[in-house]
Amino acid sequence: MTIAKNLFATLASVAALCATTAHAETLSLGDFQSTSHIVSVEGTSKWMAAVEEATDGAITFNHFPSQQAAKAKAQLDAVKSGILDAALLGASYHAETMPLNSVIGLPGYYGSAVTGTIALQEMLAEGPLRDEVLAAGVTPIFGFTLPPYQVLAKKRLGATSDWNALDVRTSGATQAMTARDLGAVGISIPGPEVYTAVERGRLDAVLFPLASVPGYKLNEVVSHISTNGSFGGYSFIMVVRSEVFDTLDADVQKTMVTLGSEVATHVAQVQDDIVLSLIDEWKAEGIDTYSFTEAELDELRTSMSPVSTDWVTRMGGENAQEVLEIYSTLTAQ
């Protein structure tokens, strides 16, 4: 009888283990950032670990950072085709597929990563931005932004007259238009080449997110850095292929999204805090870290406003206008 009971208990344990294993899911997740980048340390990696712990291993991840599985511009296609199950997307790399999500790149709106992230999260929860991502065959889990781009230069740039005919490093078409409307010339130069271009005088100024400045040592070749401008932004979106996400248990889906929201706010706050710390360091180095006056900010916003108008026209009108109005309202709160 004892042997029979032990056998029954063993079989029951095996059955339970098999049932647990059957429901376990390992997701391959692509990422174009390195594991040492703040976006990965405080964002992607933190979220994966939280999901694995909260689901007791029902969801695990195979992480492919540093473009190991696909190049930055190919992350979305890799997820859609089944090469990857999930990916952290840089929205600007997929503007053709998700054009409305490029609203984050417009200048003059959010003033901190937290503000931008709160707005993005709300817009990914429902509305045109979410619909656009879903139409691409993937489900948005969470999104966050970098701190707004600032200007780094060898002289203080304030009023638009200061920008006239300057060669300014920009990232993407929207920022190039931003530079144009300020009277400057936008020049696209890869990040690793910016240091030398500034040092040799090829560039007069650089539009750059401050949290990324140390990685390129740009503080070594400029003497003035703005701290309260808003020359556009950059957004990341964590997505899972919809056919995969839809097969997960409802409680697992909820856990992934809830933890994603928490991580999004966290990584945004960490970035904002790092920027404040960097500003103190640069001041100690003798760099002029300055704030635009209210008059300068008003003039800059007025000069850059045509970028938003042009964006609405390029995006096709009604939907884009709705997105811009929602975005403007959320970032003004």
Is position 1 within any domain?
A: no
For the chain, the maximum distance between any two Cα atoms, rounded to a whole number of angstroms, is 94
Write out the H or E segment, with its range, that includes residue 150. Answer: strand 149-153
Same domain (yes/no): 30, 85: yes
- Supply the pLDDT for residue 316: 84
Is position 17 within any domain?
A: no
CB 304 within 8 A of CB 108: yes
- Supply the pLDDT for residue 333: 74
Is position 137 within any domain?
A: yes
Same domain (yes/no): 93, 140: yes
Is position 4 within any domain?
A: no
Same domain (yes/no): 61, 198: no
Of how many residues is the chain composed? 333
Q: Which two tokens stand for residue 3?
A: 């042997």
Same domain (yes/no): 138, 47: yes
- pLDDT, one tens digit per residue, over 82-102 is 999 999 999 988 999 999 999
On the question of pLDDT at 317 being above 50, the answer is yes
Site of tokens 């080449």: 193
Same domain (yes/no): 102, 114: yes
Same domain (yes/no): 177, 314: yes
Is position 191 within any domain?
A: yes
What CATH number corresponds to the domain at position 242?
3.40.190.170
Same domain (yes/no): 133, 213: no
Same domain (yes/no): 199, 308: yes
Q: Which two tokens stand for residue 75?
A: 């992350």
Domain count, the chain: 2
Same domain (yes/no): 103, 139: yes
Exposure letters 214-228 (e unless 16+ CB within 10 A, then b): eebebbebbebbbbe
Same domain (yes/no): 40, 125: yes
Q: Which two tokens stand for residue 170?
A: 């920009």
- What is the three-class DSSP state of 100? helix
Is position 281 within any domain?
A: no
Is position 10 within any domain?
A: no
Residue range(s) defining the domain that contains residue 50: 26-146+234-274
Same domain (yes/no): 227, 301: yes
pTM listed for this prediction:
0.87
- pLDDT, one tens digit per residue, over 292-307 is 999 999 999 999 999 9
d(Cα 51, Cα 243) in Å, to the nearest integer?
A: 19
Q: Which two tokens stand for residue 79?
A: 């997820």
* For residues 193-199, average pLDDT: 96
Q: What distances in angstroms separate CA 229 from CA 13, 102, 276, one per listed residue?
A: 61, 19, 14
On the question of pLDDT at 4 being above 60, the answer is no
CB 92 within 8 A of CB 102: yes
Is position 280 within any domain?
A: no
Same domain (yes/no): 173, 251: no
Beta strands 224-226 and 59-64, pairing class: unpaired
CB 41 within 8 A of CB 73: no
Q: Confidence band (pLDDT; 50, 70, 90) for 318?
A: confident
